[in-house]
Chain A
Amino acid sequence: MTCQEALRLLYEVINKEASQIDAKKVKEHLHNCRDCMQRYEFEAMFQAFVTEKGNSPCKTEQLKNRILSKINDHETKPLGFFTRYKKYLFLAAGALVVFIALALTISQLYQHNSFVYPFEKSHLDNFATAIPSDNIENLTAVKNYLSSHVQIELRENIVGFKLQNAGFDEILGKKYAHLYFVKDNSHISIFVGNPSDTYLPGFSKISLPDKEIFEHVCAQCRIIYWKHNNAIIIGVTEDKNLEMASMIPLL
């Protein structure tokens, strides 16, 4: 083993992450090479030093009590309320179910089928044909576009969602970067484009502490969009139960 190879594996050996074979080879090298041994000893010392200095004890007694009392609140209050008003709650829930069913039927009559957003369609088409992205040139082009357009760093894993495909789509004659994320049975398409090119009527506004997001539920999908720097970011998913928050940490 050369010095270069030994040094490359140095931290994996220190962190006990190297395979047994690698660790053995590195250690053999260290015993025969004074320079590498000195470096190894120093880096191991640095590791221990940061671990020790960064981990001084902290006072968490108050926080613990606060959390425990919140847990107690959580358990006692809803229970008391629930047992006292059980009957009415069931009645109210029943009425709510009927109301929602009616509302859904009516809204379907009026809203769905009338217009399928091209973003929705593109997402669903892509869903049917999605293949793992191994086109690095394409990925680089998308990354460049994102960093110049919205100043975001494309991450290949977002709260468990994995980037499966990235490319460009033309929607109503305009160019959008299309990122396709997958997790278990959920799929998310993220489109990034120019706000001035994008016309999205019929959305309702949701204000989050640091962002304004617009949402629309269509026939098969839920679409949200928000603006960031010079771009519009559009998220599309067919999983209507997906937590909104999990779709936005792209930024």
Chain B
Amino acid sequence: MENRNSGNDKKKEKFEAEALVHLDSLYRTALRMTRNEGEAEDLVQETLLKAYRFWDKFEEGSNCRAWLFKIMTNIFINNYRAKSRMPQVIDLEDVDDDFLFGQLSALGPSDNPEQHFFAKVFDDDVKKAVEELPEDFRMVVVLSFLEGFSYQEIAEIAGLQIGTVKSRLHRGRKLLQKALWDYAVKNGFIKEAAR
């Protein structure tokens, strides 16, 4: 009885030190993916309880954070993603790769529009723009931009080919730049230049 308890205590200690330390980063991602605090909390809780149940399956020395994100992504895809998924038709044909850079450069060199843009856009605008990305793009954008995972790690976490990760990241970035530009124009931080 006592042995078992001390064994459990050790397991719990290790779990707290190695897995629970990633709680903030898991929650942040869950929030961007579910766009709802209650669902994000449930998703993170489910993820960590599952990780605890399978803690003995986790290979010591391997990347615990990536392992946790993989569990969470699987649960999200299976249980949380938009119930009736319509095909995601995104028309990006008319958005150039250098869309935001081009728009800002067109405003003229004198008043340093880039600095102005970066200073004016709020945290919440960025979060909202991320949350409004279509789900497939949002996932890779969050994992790369916000969580700093490598392309290879993202491929493993989300079950994608590395080429798919790159192309989704590319398109997600374009969509994000377009959305942030639209916010800036809408809120009057920036007057749209004729391009």
A residues with a Cβ closer than 8 A to B are: 7, 11, 15, 17, 38-39, 42-43, 45-47, 49-51, 53-58, 60, 63-64, 66-68, 70-71, 74-75, 79, 83, 147, 151-153, 156-160, 210, 245-246, 248-249, 251
Contacts and interface: CB of A to CB of B under 8 A. Distances in A.
A63 B45 contact: yes
Interface string B129-153: 0100000000000101110101100
A127 to B, nearest CB: 22
Contacts of B170: 11
Secondary structure of the A side of the interface?
Answer: helix
Nearest to B88: A153
Interface in B48-66: 48-49, 52-53
Interface of B: 1, 4, 8, 12, 15-16, 20, 23-24, 27-28, 31-32, 41, 44-45, 48-49, 52-53, 74, 77-79, 81, 83, 85-88, 97-98, 100-101, 104-105, 114, 118, 121-123, 125-127, 130, 142, 144-146, 148, 150-151, 159-161, 164, 169-170, 173, 176-177
Given A147-B87, A157-B159, A74 B49 contact: yes
Contacts of B74: 159
A55 B100 CA distance: 21
A43 B8 CA distance: 48
Closest 8 CB pairs of A and B: A53-B126, A157-B159, A54-B146, A245-B78, A53-B123, A42-B101, A50-B145, A249-B77
B74 to A, nearest CB: 6
B44 A58 contact: no
11 contacts: A11-B170, A11-B173, A17-B151, A39-B101, A46-B100, A70-B45, A74-B49, A75-B8, A83-B1, A157-B159, A251-B85
